[in-house]
Structure 1
């Protein structure tokens, strides 16, 4: 079976970034408010995935905090697209999985962004599922089978970890690079035997599949994945006050997820176009930290006191290098420089 291909070259990433940038620009009017990170513009990348981001977007928390800014929300299907967009300087802030972020730090020219927040910790909202008709009931049973996942995503990372734990190499299965909607179509046609993906596609697969493992289990075994939020180096240099306002909005969203579950369900339901029951079920599968937990030593950390997340990112990069997904893991210094902790936790008050 073919080994998982290396990640796309920087040239290919940049070409994709230009396409993403063009699409983003086409979706909003030009008002001449400056370059990336300009004082009156914020371009925010998000996923159609239950998190505090959807609360911030639905309740217009950031628009209320920054009424003089033009805020554009741009939907992405995976972290690979987010990385491409940052290379093309078409994003200021975005959701990004810990695995694609680790990739972004690798190489001689790291992507110019930094982690500034944690959206959620992957739980049962990302999982590996086999079609019931495939006859596969264990991860080890995937040997020789066709397995789909979005490459360069947290699901891809978790899939590789699951295979390793089961005694399989990536070359022992036929890995196929598909985005979530394409995974669902391939599943329905019977083209794939299993898939590692996230909500809401995951719930559709579960209807006719058997769950083999989840990111919650893999994380508990020592390889956690998270949905992070990154900010561009340009924005850090030009408008740190906007980052502070955005962090406050994200912190408020995390508090709403805890204190107002019905309101959170309503917001997620509206943003994803799903029923309240489905939104509630999807939210129940995520692991959402409190703002205090985010800035604790166990996770992101605070200004001058980086947390364990740096170690998780370093471990992720080392694993990806071992799996030949990246040429080499970034240095400890590169990982350290990939975090923006200035002002935390005081800016949340």
Structure 2
């Protein structure tokens, strides 16, 4: 065998070896996907979760996701604490309440924030045209939620004493009918209900912006023990949601279609309100400050027994997101 033939034979053997290695690796079973149960609200604020489902990002990251749809963020937290879900989606108000109750949670990210959702809607035909017109009116709230905190913050900002209005507790599924039927004169309400009441009331609806008064955050929470024992699942979850974030930024029309379908929202509502809505995975200092502020509000309102403001900073699990998206974390810990 001459030198040329030897080189050819060696090259063939190398190729055969590579092919054999590839065949061996491809025949090797992939690691089993990690099961994860996510309790997310059926609303546009859960948009990144719904995009991740629709685009199979969870599966691509090795997660077998089961989705639950509780009515409120507090219900999602209860599902997590009771072991019926691994991850819950919620605003910061229920988080503050749970921490005040002495129960342990970890916040691993926010997936939505906005200065326009939730908002205040009044009836013009009831004389509600300016914020000051809320004085003496019946105003609907879902007690103890972000909408309740928003309303009281809004009233304080406009120097309307709480005793000068009548708060009416309403269930989430009755928010639209309560305002449209005239049971209340105004409401603190979130999408998709916010858009629905505006559509049904038409020119009789007056919307008050809360920009500069309140910023809403929608967050991911897990049990403390889950955060310690299941870092890989949290990493995969965040990677899938970061893919959804990138998709929403690059393909807003398709993202709106997915979110509208998943949440049962008219797509026109999303188009009309898309710009103020931030579908981003973050952990911002403003969330920490808001949670502490809402904990103090909950104590003042007596929603929990008297006590002190908990160590909210300790509830943040920032390392997983900081490792994946350093620019998304502004909390110093």
Q: TM-score, normalised by structure 2?
A: 0.78
Work out whether 1:192 is the aligned partner of 2:184: yes
For 2:41 and 2:92, the matched residues in 1 are separated by 14
Tell me whether 257-266 or 134-143 shows the greater mean CA deviation: 134-143
For 1:65 and 1:266, the matched residues in 2 are separated by 23
Q: For the structure 1 residues 330 and 244, does the alpha-carbon distance in structure 2 shift closer, same or farther, using more than 3 Å as the test?
A: farther
Aligned to 1:211: 206
Q: Which runs of 5+ in 1 are unaligned?
A: 1-38, 300-306
Aligned counterpart for 1:96 among listed residues 90, 94, 108? 90
Residue aligned with 1:247, SS: helix
Q: TM-score, normalised by structure 1?
A: 0.75
Aligned counterpart for 2:275 among listed residues 279, 284, 287? 284
For 1:47 and 1:215, the matched residues in 2 are separated by 22
For 1:142 and 1:230, the matched residues in 2 are separated by 35
Residue aligned with 2:279, SS: coil
Contact preservation (8 Å) 1:122, 1:227: no
Q: Give per-residue Cα distances to partners, 1:185-225, cap 9 Å, x unaligned.
A: 11222111111111111012223243352343423xxxx33
Work out whether 1:65 is the aligned partner of 2:61: yes
Contact preservation (8 Å) 1:99, 1:225: no
Q: For the structure 1 residues 66 and 130, does the alpha-carbon distance in structure 2 shift closer, same or farther, using more than 3 Å as the test?
A: same
Q: For the structure 1 residues 182 and 74, does the alpha-carbon distance in structure 2 shift closer, same or farther, using more than 3 Å as the test?
A: same
Work out whether 1:315 is the aligned partner of 2:306: no
For 2:268 and 2:261, the matched residues in 1 are separated by 12
Aligned to 1:342: 319
Residue aligned with 2:130, SS: coil
For 1:196 and 1:273, the matched residues in 2 are separated by 20
Work out whether 1:160 is the aligned partner of 2:171: no
For 1:288 and 1:326, the matched residues in 2 are separated by 32
Aligned to 1:120: 112
Q: Which runs of 5+ in 2 are unaligned?
A: 1-32, 327-333
Contact preservation (8 Å) 2:157, 2:213: no
Tell me whether 280-289 or 243-252 shows the greater mean CA deviation: 280-289
For 2:308 and 2:251, the matched residues in 1 are separated by 40
Q: For the structure 1 residues 327 and 165, does the alpha-carbon distance in structure 2 shift closer, same or farther, using more than 3 Å as the test?
A: farther
Aligned counterpart for 2:72 among listed residues 75, 78, 103? 78
In angstroms, what is the RMSD of aligned CA positions?
2.4
For 2:107 and 2:307, the matched residues in 1 are separated by 17
Work out whether 1:258 is the aligned partner of 2:249: yes
Contact preservation (8 Å) 2:122, 2:186: yes
